[in-house]
Structure 1
Amino acid sequence: MRIIDLSSPVNAAAYEPDPVKHEILSPREGALHMSAEMREHFGIEFDPTDLPEGEFLSLDRMSLTTHTGTHVDAPSHYGSRTTYGTGVPRHIDEMPLEWFHARGVVLDLTDQGTGAVGPAELEKAFSRIEYVPSPNEIVLLHTGADRRAGTPEYFTDFVGLDGDAVHMLLDLGVKVIGTDAFSLDAPFGNIIERYRETGDRSVLWPAHFAGREREYCQIERLAHLGDLPEPYGFLVSCFPVKITGAGAGWTRAVALVED
């Protein structure tokens, strides 16, 4: 079994519209921190110089959104109410784990320009690989956008899905849709431009807002989908971090490929 990493890193040095803050305490600073914490919270005095080399453990403090790096969006990310079920969308910590360990299929959309594609383009992609996903399979969209990760263009130049394309996949029984782009929708600028031209509200984030009508999750900011040797016949494992009440959770997404 070969493991292919499909995840992009959380990197404070890379360009992000919502910057990541990463503070690293060295092992020496960790010793001083531990000593101070023991004194404050437990009333215990401990001299950090008693430790080997005067060092304890390093510590990382980070400030970032749950949509930084490869992450899974929960239904609660799409809105506060739904037209299905109880009317209240589930958070990321409430989603079934079996959704995130399943057979996968990757669709090649690298020939598409910036904007949103619909069912016709997905039909062509399925036809090229002579395969249609079965219920509960994870569909991954290989757009090639990950080549621009870490640059401003990563957030402005990519292809997403329109609402009809999302509903087409959900009609097949798909519960999780992934993309190597910043968003499953078209870029913000593209969406606003089309809305101003047409006045059509249906162009406003339809891939996300479809989740107000039907329950599904999406994985955004994947990477290395071009490294998959075959378009199907592999497993995807993308368990989201269990954050209580959150609309998304980071994941170390991987493909499991039999040699």
Structure 2
Amino acid sequence: MPTYRARFDATVAFTNGGGLQVQGFLVDVPSADVTSGEIGELFLDSLGLLMAGKVQLSKVEVVEAAHKGTRGGPAAGGAARGEGTAYVELSHVIRDGMVTLPNLPGPSFSQQLTREASREIYAPGTEFEIGLLTMVTNTGTYMDSPYHRYPDGHDLTGFSLERTVDLPTVVVRVEDSGRLGIDAAALATYDVQGKAVLLHTGDDVRFGTPEYVEEPHFLTRDGAEWLIDRGAVLVGIDAANIDDMTDGTRPAHTLLLGAGVAIVEHMTNLSAVPPTGALFTATAPRIEGLGTFPVRAYAKLP
């Protein structure tokens, strides 16, 4: 179902004197036909303003957009979806020859056993196909383990299911922030303790094209430090790299993996996940000695 946000200018007069003016402010709203009074209440709730008196709105525009989790808004506690369970796929499909990053070879599909050849092995009317896949481990949507960065870090087998399955999720939407770096200030309003933090940049629309690696979003050093200090257990991003690819020190990888925080890169479809309330899962095969491998990543909606 579509979700909506309201953009507006506002003037607030405080009962103890003084006032506040804002331009182009945005809040999540429950529907396209929300009233100005409801928007004003959401505005006050989002800022936690005390002693606020009359609110005057102007230039009100309701637009279809993914909710960002306005405090006190319709998605603040997770979006209600009715009965039943719904899932959102968050992984790119792996296809023969696909490009994940331009400096890495694409996967190559072939057959170890063809159906035709299997007819000589099995009974009449019984046939099988066994595929053969050759690829780098950084293909499609994949998970990084500490061994990817550190020779003494644990590999993919070191992630328990408790650290990768049904994690409470926070989606941080930065696609319209006007900034490529996702820093501590952009994360400051979120409760990330024990959660999967998914950074929704919108870069996934360029996946598989040369433009995907042109000015991609990334997590800054202080953003990574902030997430570690506040107890995030997994960080995902729908961009070409969780790091600024012009910085050879790779601070986000270095800090997160050093703290044992799993990283999932090249995600997609994060716009379909509510800001809070979903449960995130990303699991890789239990392969010993590998630092990265593709995952089936998905969200269970509330």
* TM-score (normalised: structure 2): 0.65
Distance 1:152 1:114, change over 3 A: farther
Which deviates more, 215-224 or 108-117?
A: 108-117
CA 26–246 in structure 1, closer or farther in 2 if over 3 Å, else same: closer
Task: Report matched runs for 1:215-226 at 5 Å.
Answer: 215-226=260-271
Between structure 1 and structure 2, the one with the greater Rg is 2
Q: Deviations over 1:54-98 (max 9, x none)?
A: x62223211112211111100111222xxxxxxx31111112210
Once residues 296 and 154 of structure 2 are traced to their aligned partners in structure 1, the CA distance between those partners, rounded to angstroms, is: 21
Map 1:229-248 → 2, pairs under 5 A: 230-248=274-292
Contact 2:95 2:107 in 1 (8 A): no
Question: Unaligned stretches of 5+ in structure 2?
Answer: 1-84
Gaps of 5+ in 1: 36-46, 81-87, 193-203
- What is the number of residues matched between the two proteins? 215
Q: How does 1:21-32 map to 2 (within 5 A)?
A: 21-25=107-111, 29-32=114-117
Structure 1 residue corresponding to 2:168, chosen from 87, 103, 116: 103
Quote how far apart the aligned CAs of 1:218 are.
0.5
Tell me what 1:39 maps to: none
CA RMSD of aligned residues (A): 2.3
Query: Contact (CA 8 Å) 1:163, 1:206: kept in 2 or not?
Result: yes
Tell me the equivalent position of 1:9. 93
- 2:191 aligned with 1:191, yes or no? no
Q: Is the 8 A contact 2:281 2:299 kept in 1?
A: yes
Counting only pairs closer than 5 Å after superposition, residues 1-259 of structure 1 correspond to structure 2 as 1-16=85-100, 17=102, 18-25=104-111, 29-32=114-117, 34=118, 47-48=120-121, 51-52=124-125, 56-80=127-151, 88-101=152-165, 102-112=167-177, 115-123=180-188, 126=189, 131-133=190-192, 135-186=193-244, 188=245, 190-191=246-247, 204-211=249-256, 213-228=258-273, 230-258=274-302
Residue identity in the other structure for 2:242 = L
Task: Flag as ranges the 4+ runs of structure 1 deviating above 4 A.
Answer: 112-115
Q: 1 or 2, which has the higher strand percentage?
A: 2
Evaluate the alpha carbon distance shift between residue 254 and residue 21 of structure 1 in structure 2; reply closer, same or farther with a 3 A threshold.
closer
Give CA deviations for 1:157-216 in whole Å, capped at 9, x if unaligned. Answer: 311011211110111111110001121112x3x336xxxxxxxxxxx2110111464221
Deviation (angstroms), 1:13: 4.0
What SS class does the counterpart of residue 238 from structure 1 fall into? strand
Query: Which structure has the higher relative contact order (CA within 8 Å, separation 6+)?
Result: 1
Deviation at 1:24, TM superposition (A): 3.5
Shift of 1:26: 9.6
Distance in 2 of aligned mates of 1:76 and 1:138: 20
CA distance in 1, matches of 2:145, 2:175: 26
Identity rate, percent: 26
Q: Are residues 56 and 176 of structure 1, via their aligned partners in 2, closer, same or farther at CA, if it must alter by over 3 Å? A: same
User: Equivalent residue of 1:146, what SS?
Assistant: helix
Q: Contact 1:24/1:58 (CA < 8 Å) preserved in 2?
A: no
Which is helix-richer, 1 or 2? Answer: 1
In structure 2, the residue matched to 1:195 is none
Distance 1:21 1:72, change over 3 A: closer
Partner of 1:40: none
| Cα pair 2:171 2:200 within 8 Å, conserved | yes
